[in-house]
Amino acid sequence: MIRHERERAARLLDLWEREIAHPYMRGALNMAQLTLACALALELRNPDFDWRSGHAALCEWYAPLAARPSFTATAPPTPKAS
């Protein structure tokens, strides 16, 4: 099941890499943008979730959203080094 979900996530990342330039994803902040940004932010909780490799357009799109005060204020705590 985990392999299936990883493969599905990879397919969706490739799809979003192609579709992220759509005007709906570039216009005023909307629910689709928030949903995708929250899904990409799962990397903060799951370091094995490497969506950035090979997805330059998604990285460029995500950076300003991730820098918004609402995103930084609700980010999970950074794990402390042991």
Mean pLDDT of all residues in 61-78: 91
Q: According to the model, what pLDDT value does residue 33 have?
A: 96
CB 61 within 8 A of CB 25: yes
Looking at residue 24, what DSSP letter applies?
Answer: H
Nearest to 52 by CA among 65, 68, 41: 41
pTM recorded for the entire structure: 0.85
28-60 confidence digits (pLDDT tens) = 999 999 999 999 998 888 888 899 999 999 999
* For residue 81, pLDDT beyond 70: no
The set of residues, in sequence order, having a beta carbon less than 8 Å from that of 40 and lying 6+ positions away, is 51, 58, 62, 66
CB 32 within 8 A of CB 24: yes
Q: According to the model, what pLDDT value does residue 46 have?
A: 85
Nearest to 54 by CA among 6, 2, 10, 7: 10
